[in-house]
Structure 1
């Protein structure tokens, strides 16, 4: 039963509770994004004995009060088959989590627990850590966007020994520090099946110099997200020694780490030893030209690569050809993001050449946003000659905010080009000056060609 975002009221909860005796086989109940039911949850939870098969309970952003949380805790003994509970975006959970966590039942069937942006405190982190001893089947734990919980995670990390099946740990923006990473590193020995670890938006720079070797305990790791973590060259040097040994790694996100300097090129060079690697995000990393050359040298070995995001690295301007020419073999690239890279007309020509040769036939998303450095004639050339992008569904050529340029020099050429992009659904044109008559031309194209391209401008 999905009642997500249905504007439910207390009266609706009363009626729903009355229905539960007639729903003995109910397995999933989603009441998320109904903030008016806060304070009334007890009216529902007192009837959960009628739904013994319930596996999924989603109560994200429901305005839950301390009393609601306590009532939910009291009902846990009735949820003998529960596998997923989502209490995200309920700020009153902060300081009250123990009212729920202390009542988790021994040998709980819970596999997924999400507590995103719940205003959790240090004490909540400690309480949750103590509760792990009864949630031995836990596979996914998401505590993201709880900035004050960091100091309490030392206890939680120590208790990870009770959840050996944990596969996903998300700690985005949780107030982690260098010391936190050391505690987590030691705990990784307890969760050898970890597949996804998100540590982004935490001030953990310098924390990997001593603890990177602990990553060798999670040989199944597929996703490693450390974007915006103030990483240092020392962190990258340490990770360079370890990451090539994680043979199952598929996704690496280093974005917004502006101080990793030239050290990142050595890490890029060793990605070639990861046979399943699919996604590299290194946007806004202050890459050097040497890093781009190293990436170009590595690309032929990245045969499974699907996503490449190098946005906000100005060194790409005038040098994209060095990189692009190394994609001249069979590629699975689906997403290419080159936003705000100071691209030139020659860079666009390199993209055109590659597409015309058929080497970007799998590309679905191309972002060229904020490249105000491309002149009008180069856009004309791009739309006149771009070919072979049969799978492209999203293209963004928007300009930087406060920038305003006429699209008249190339709009007619664009309209002709659209017929050669049969899969295109979204075209971003932010900050290009488009007149009312030009808007009509775009609408007419959709009508005449029975297309439904969404133009954003």
Structure 2
């Protein structure tokens, strides 16, 4: 117990600053590696273990507390008693060891452990002479002068060896080992003896290491394998808030990082997370609102060092270049001297820039230095390499050679180095985007598209251009052949899959019902930016979210093409904020829906500017907003512009009357080349408004016209019929329901459908049509299109007739339906859906309907007869037709 007290006092003194260091993670996650999961290629570059940006999903491992790993209850025998913990550089292995040791020393945890001896491999490098295990421990803990050998060989004793990757000597398990605590030998033999279990066979051994060094230890000596995962998403956010100190600014910084899946994954590593938080703290400006100007990895590191002493940076770059070739991150004083760097100047620099370089004291009061993270060393090495290449003026060819070298290495040791090379080329503006290096890299990516090499090169290319290869992908999707010579469609199909995964693209973004509010939306901006559609209806949003959404729209990296903000409290000022994003040259939004918001006429003034500037916006839905005639007058200013390429305009229930229709007609008279869908439903435009529109604008060029409940009568139907007659008419859907057309108006519509009409869907529900009107429809259903020549055979693609008609809520009666039924037997009819609900029908029409359904030429698959007085007798008659094998009906109401 006296030994334990002395050891705990020593550890508390050694690690007393640990709790004060704000850069340390508050909690780390550990995961067991199953026995059949042993990492297949531990020599691969470490970023490959944390960067999963090339896959849609990744494995989820069960995390376990450290107390489970460091349990004295775990059974072991002399040959298998070592626990190994793997992790990438900087992920927190040393912090874990020190935290564990301090908790034990302070009596806060691990009470089953009697003695715990943390040792570091970089300090073991300093011991050149032979010694025994007692002398080794007393070298690190000289206070333990009375260390009793018998107290060491117990299962509540732990020897913790931290940082195997920093040990200079290889571990040779084939060499003789020692078993006696008094037997002297070299340090490497003592270490292998502890691992093999010949020395202190009852004690536990815990080793931490980066991946590559773990291959030195044979599986047969490992009791358990674990892995440090680093920061969780929640911890990343907590760390950003701690470093930045302002919640709003921290959230913006987190959003910047999440835009790039690669940066987001790298933030699992605490030092990189700290670097990003510190750089973004100065990069982001509070007065810029939600403006998104993401930095790539190279730009983050460039910002980190740009204010540093240039003389020492130049020397460190050369040193990094040497260290990268030799390996290792710990720099002893002799390493510095070889690069003409004094310990004094490095020490001063480490105090000035602790994120770039840090100083560490150890055994025999030795001072060593480390880069803040191994990736900083690779950044400096890449910078030094480019300096060398630039001096030779063969930049493109030399970089092309580096790409080839990277491809030849299956272990990917130069993955991040090459990524920085491409990023620094962009930062220094050394090559134009048209340089052959980039075409060469693109081709190599596609040739290697199924391997991880493609991901590595993709990272590199994106450091130079965040949109790299997207134009080529769009070209392939549009034209169906490769824009790069020598590559097949198969290459591009794989490319599309990998691009989607790499970008984290998703088709839809929807908020959970329980989290629908502005504050939650502001935390989801990266997810919205990566989605093609943001479905935000009924999300309890206000104007507060609009500047943020505008920032997403104006970001070059945004994939958002459809934004639905329907039924939220978005006022005119919110629309004004959105328009700032819509008018940005980077905006590629195609669909904007604002139905049921609180938009008024002033908002239309803002939107009009978008219509005159945005060539991308194709659909605008302002339905259920009180924009009125004044709003439509403002909107008409934009619609009139030849820059406007709007294809769909929805203005249903907008309190528009005849005057508004006048403004719309005048605008479409000037610019009508693109509009294909127009919805004016539930606006009392009346015959005068409608006829002015029909006179000035050729509705036959529309694909869909919705004028439900618009106060129309038969006097509007003449112009509609004339449009349907047009040989060039493209009108496919027409909704005129809930208008007082009556039989005479319906007759004019039917007259337009006799010959060239391409109409497929017609809704004339509740239009005052009677059985007399059915005579005109029967003529349409019984006619043959003039597009059929006598010698032509009936084929599916020749269908130009009605496929769907809604006659519900018209008093057709039995006589009218009998007229229609004859048309069902037309061999050229393509009618599939017929709605006759609420049409005052009885059983008298059912025999004719049954006959039509039973005809081999009938294509009816859906029939609605609800709300009619058919009774059992009528249904029995219908069943005669339904029973016929030739009946194609699928749905009967």
Q: TM-score, normalised by structure 2?
A: 0.40
| Cα offsets for 1:82-116 (capped at 9, x unmatched) | 253411563622232453255579xx655433222
1:252–1:316 Cα change, 3 Å: farther
User: Does residue 1:213 correspond to 2:634, yes or no?
Assistant: no
User: Does residue 1:430 correspond to 2:866, yes or no?
Assistant: yes
**Does the residue aligned with 1:113 lie in a helix, a strand or coil?**
strand
Q: Decide whether the 8 Å contact of 2:563 with 2:589 is kept in 1.
A: no
1:97 and 1:201 map into 2 onto residues whose CA distance is 26
Matches within 5 A, 1:380-419: 380-384=818-822, 386-388=824-826, 390-399=829-838, 405=840, 407-419=842-854
| Cα offsets for 1:177-227 (capped at 9, x unmatched) | 111111111222331122222111111112012331212255322211111
1:237 and 1:24 map into 2 onto residues whose CA distance is 54
For 2:765, the equivalent position in structure 1 comes to 339
1:91 and 1:226 map into 2 onto residues whose CA distance is 31
- What's the CA shift for 1:275? 7.0
| Cα offsets for 1:245-297 (capped at 9, x unmatched) | 2212211111111245511111112332x674221111111013322122223
| Residue range with higher mean Cα deviation, 360-369 or 237-246 | 360-369
Among 296, 317, 336, the residue aligned to 2:743: 317
1:296–1:82 Cα change, 3 Å: same
For 1:239, the equivalent position in structure 2 comes to 664
* Higher relative helix content: 2
- What's the CA shift for 1:236? 0.9
2:590 and 2:867 map into 1 onto residues whose CA distance is 43
- What's the CA shift for 1:386? 4.9
Among 583, 587, 606, the residue aligned to 1:161: 583
Matches within 5 A, 1:61-210: 76-78=259-261, 80-87=503-510, 90=513, 92-101=515-524, 110-134=531-555, 137-151=558-572, 152-162=574-584, 163-206=586-629, 207-210=631-634
Unaligned runs of 5+ in 2: 1-49, 59-230, 234-250, 262-501, 786-798
1:448–1:265 Cα change, 3 Å: same
2:886 and 2:232 map into 1 onto residues whose CA distance is 53
Among 293, 307, 310, the residue aligned to 2:733: 307
Q: Decide whether the 8 Å contact of 2:536 with 2:564 is kept in 1.
A: yes
Q: Decide whether the 8 Å contact of 2:847 with 2:877 is kept in 1.
A: no
1:329–1:406 Cα change, 3 Å: closer
The structure whose Rg is larger is 2
The count of aligned residue pairs is 393
Q: Decide whether the 8 Å contact of 2:760 with 2:802 is kept in 1.
A: yes
1:358–1:271 Cα change, 3 Å: farther
Q: Decide whether the 8 Å contact of 2:842 with 2:871 is kept in 1.
A: no
1:354 and 1:95 map into 2 onto residues whose CA distance is 53
Matches within 5 A, 1:279-298: 279-298=704-723
For 1:371, the equivalent position in structure 2 comes to 810
User: Does residue 1:327 correspond to 2:753, yes or no?
Assistant: yes
2:700 and 2:779 map into 1 onto residues whose CA distance is 28
| Cα offsets for 1:421-453 (capped at 9, x unmatched) | 532111011101343464455456434326452
2:650 and 2:579 map into 1 onto residues whose CA distance is 18
1:429 and 1:328 map into 2 onto residues whose CA distance is 26
Q: Decide whether the 8 Å contact of 1:284 with 1:312 is kept in 2.
A: yes
RMSD, matched Cα: 3.4
**Does the residue aligned with 1:239 lie in a helix, a strand or coil?**
helix
1:271–1:387 Cα change, 3 Å: farther
